[in-house]
Chain A
Amino acid sequence: MLLYRTKLDFCFFGLIFFQALALAQPSYEGPHPSLEIVEDPMRRRTEYLARVNEVIEWRAGIVKRGDAEKMDMASVSANLSLNQNIEACNARGLELMENPGSGPFWMLPTTCVAFTGRDKLSDEAQQAIRLAWKESYQFRGDTENHFAMYYTMLYLMSELYPNEPGSEWYNGKSSQENLEESRDYLIDWMNIATTIGQGEFNPTHYIGEYAIPMLYLQSWAKDPEMRLRGQMFLDFLYAGLAANTLNGVLRGPNARTDDLSVVERWNSLSSFFSWLNFGNCPPTRGFSWGNYYAIVASNYYLPEVIYRIAMDRDESFTQKDLKRSRHRWRYSDVGKAPIYKTTYMSNDYAVGSYQGGMADPIQSHVWDITWATPDPRGRHPTIFSIHPFSSQKAMQAYFNVRPDTMVKAVAAEGKPSYDVADKLVGCSPYEEVFQHEDTIIALYDIPPGTRFEQVNGFFSKDLENLTEDESGWIFARGGNAYLAYLPMTDYRWKPHMAYKRLPSTGDGYRYERVESGSQVIISPGNKNGTIVQAASISEFDSFETFKSAIRNQSLTFELEPKPKVSLSSFRGDELEFRYGSAPKVNGQAIDYDRWKLFEGPYLNAEKGSRKLEITHGRIKRTLDFNTVKISNSIAPIY
């Protein structure tokens, strides 16, 4: 099978090369890719390799094109991978190692250069890399993705330089000690993710910080088990990406996102991975960290079952997953809080949420309804509300810091909205969310004295027919979705002010705020709530019919003593939700204790099982992290 694949790749490589050369513009500036499902696996693979090659060629030529004065490590790696400009790679490699960086974001690129150049770089350049790993102290960081990168890179470099004493490593540990510690961490991390769920789940950007290490593990680890683990975890990540994207664009909720991606949903690294793997959306500009992935991306074969899950939106579906919060060191009864995530996906729109509360203290996105757009670039295809929560003590729960500096430091570290009243990123302990299919009820009970006592609702510039109805509902159309949004208290409109990055003056990130064209409603009530419902336009004769259906629902809500909603939805379900109580569907309370690791038509796993079944139609792929085995099956036709 492997031989077949190698030959297959070889046969098409020339074609791919010329295809890439023929591209008049990079894919991120080109037309939107076709959403047609490619049935022929050979064509699929060919197109995948063409995308991989486009990235490598693009990065290799960054200096020649005039996009940069000097080669960076991605460009060095790309040139090495193309077996070109080796002398320049040697020279630049030496230069780059003169002042090594520290931490996972240096270790990863350096590992890429070390492995890509291990049989191409000069001895001097390779020795410079080796010396940097001896003399340059590396920080492990304090975040899940930091650890994943740190230990994967340390594992691989310990294999690359085996049998060396602690005096040859920056941390004083021998190659064998580093190898064992790294392996132990990576296995433990995989076990947690496949037992109680991922921590940095559904990330808009940080998917790269996991996918790249796992691809390197699959590509470069000597230990066959670790290679296979890398491959399996890539499958695990991409199965999640496939089930949570609509036309390649990742939908909420997200453990971590940012001020841009939360509204321009496409504009995140996850779109690069959708583009590369599924070919169903444009990549982000410059491919970002995807450059490091592309270097060895030809080693990964996307399972057909995952491809089909990503592409097939013929039938609407609900996928429920169990995730976990970022680890809470203090001020919490639980270290890793369960996150009950729900995604409803149709061909026209997606609805996603978790139950509210704190996931990540800074960058979580709790829920949204997003819709498909012909081209997602520059669009804001989303509607949601949040309580803008900011708290020193909440920071201390997750970070081992003193109380007084973290809030200000966060803003200077590239999260400018954290302590801003009209922010749109973040979660709150005072928000509870209930989702049933394509209905969201978000309730807020914000204690008096909380830093911001309001709820912010986002309204896209791309909404059509925005109407404030006398009934209290705000109606609109987003793409091929009708939307109904009910703020439970009074509100006022204000322009959405985006964050535009300014050149640094050496004292942290700088931004200016600019109007994006979208709007925000500010609802100042402490006891508050939002109801949002969606439907495809094909379900109704007209917009007016949809409005009537919403107005005619039996809806009661009250805010005192606790926010509470009872809704007989136009879809025929009786929904009840009271802040502080388990929501009910048709009289039946949601039992979160029975929530599975994955449950849906495509992804299924029991909590604690370490075993994921990925299914589409008759095709099934099982990732068993207990035995470290992959099994594939095709169900017979009866």
Chain B
Amino acid sequence: MEDSLYAGRSMAKILLQATTMPLQKFLLVTILALFLPLATIGQSPKHDLYVCAAVNRNYVIGSKITTTSGLHMREANGQWVHVGINDPSVFAVSFDPRDHDTFYTAAMNGALRTTNGGKSWRVMTGWDITEPKDICVDPHNPDRVYLAHPGGIAVSDDRGMNWTRRERGLPDRGKYTQSVEVDRFRNGHILAGCESGVYLSRNDARSWRRTLATEETVNDVQQSPNDPDTWAAVTQSAGAFISRNGGRSWSAFDQVPSEAALYNIAFDPTDPDRLAIGSYTYGVLVTEDGGATWSSRNEGLPEPHRIWRVGIDPDSGSLLASLYQKGLYESLDFGKTWKQAGLEGSAINSFVFLPKTRNYPGVAEIGFGIGSRK
């Protein structure tokens, strides 16, 4: 389905580019808006959506009023099911590609792991690691887990049982780490978003070198699911950046504002030219031409547009936006119109689209998956 949707979008773009008449363009957009969602009808999605959500206001799951925070999964009927601990501090989750009942969270108490789908948990880190913000299972070696935390970067080679700090090349001060991502295509390559920039390791985090210098924290680093060499990063005060060579060098997205913090960036797995950025100040920013131009897509969202996180569904291409303590919103037309999607009162810290089928080995061929945060 991904492939057919991808082909459909590519064809649509070609048609749109070739069409110059405004009326024709309008009709085509209308047809596409109708056609593309319909293309998904009858095909079951290939991914499950998990979110890490702090639900701070009364939240409805079915008819029961709860204030349950932490990991939630969206069922086929659109209802949300809570998974595991009621923990508003869960910031990220990463799944073992060999066994989807084994997954790890980054939360206030440290890194947590479940091996039975969330029925029971263990805090895997000790007193010396606190409040990690990101966690990433290595798709090439799923026994290895990377943890981004305020003190730097920790790595476990034994499914979280033991952790070592791997920070050679990171500055003694300036290694606060907000985001860590394993290159899904190159074994041993990892990128980290730190206080002082983006750092790249090509040896399983044994050493790091800075490839993008920033004055303040890099809030998110993501790899394109479409092109292994393409990465994007957003920052607190320096705007957004793109790398076309695996994170070795970066160039700014010139049109993206940099006066206020950008919280995260998401690639559209169904269209390599589409990216979205979430920002508490700017709301939803999108590009549909690979970053050459950017526009706001806040119309239809309740004001103020305090976006906590954006994500893009790899099955439908729908754009998801978490409004801070308001809930989740979803757009089927990449932000032109929005509808509520549940989790009222929440702030979502991350979106994870988990392939329904286990896909290990074969990561690189599939391209998008392995619990990749978007």
Q: Which A residues are closer than 8 A to B by beta carbons?
A: 137, 139-142, 147, 151, 166-167, 171-173, 181-182, 184-185, 188, 329-335, 393, 396, 400, 402-405
Contacts and interface: CB of A to CB of B under 8 A. Distances in A.
A400 B150 contact: yes
A140 B219 CA distance: 24
Contact of A402 (B121, B151, B195, B280): B280
B131 interface: yes
Nearest to B176: A330
Contacts of A167: 120
Interface in B191-219: 195, 216-217, 219
B236 interface: yes
Contacts of A405: 280, 324
B150 A335 contact: no
B261 A402 contact: yes
A330 B87 CA distance: 25
Contacts of B280: 402-405
Contacts of A331: 195, 216
Nearest to B123: A171
Contact of B127 (A184, A333, A334): A184
A172 B120 contact: yes
Nearest to B281: A404
Main secondary structure of the interface of A (DSSP, over half): loop
Given A139-B89, A329-B176, A405-B324, A166 B150 contact: no
A166 B261 CA distance: 41
Given A329-B150, A403-B261, A140 B174 contact: no
B64 interface: no
25 contacts: A137-B86, A139-B89, A139-B108, A151-B127, A171-B109, A171-B121, A171-B122, A171-B123, A172-B121, A172-B123, A173-B123, A181-B127, A182-B127, A188-B127, A329-B176, A330-B150, A333-B173, A400-B131, A400-B133, A402-B280, A403-B280, A404-B261, A404-B280, A404-B306, A405-B280
B263 interface: yes
Interface in B275-332: 280-281, 306, 324
Given A137-B86, A171-B123, A184-B127, 12 more contacts: A137-B85, A140-B109, A142-B130, A147-B127, A171-B121, A172-B122, A330-B150, A330-B174, A331-B195, A331-B216, A400-B176, A402-B280
A413 to B, nearest CB: 12
Q: Which 7 A-B pairs have the closest CB atoms?
A: A172-B122, A330-B176, A185-B127, A404-B280, A329-B150, A330-B195, A171-B123
B117 interface: no
B236 A140 contact: no
A566 to B, nearest CB: 36
B361 interface: no
Interface string B130-142: 1101000000000
A254 B174 CA distance: 28
Nearest to A167: B120
Contacts of A400: 131, 133, 150, 176
B126 interface: yes
Nearest to B124: A172
Given A330-B176, A402-B261, A402-B263, A140 B120 contact: no
Contacts of B133: 400
A402 B89 CA distance: 13
B311 to A, nearest CB: 17
A512 B127 CA distance: 40
Nearest to B131: A400
B122 A166 contact: yes
Contacts of B89: 139
B91 to A, nearest CB: 9
Contacts of A181: 126-127
A405 B307 CA distance: 12
Given A140-B108, A171-B109, A332 B173 contact: yes
Contacts of B176: 329-330, 400
Contacts of A142: 108, 130-131
Contacts of A404: 260-261, 280-281, 306
Contacts of B195: 330-331
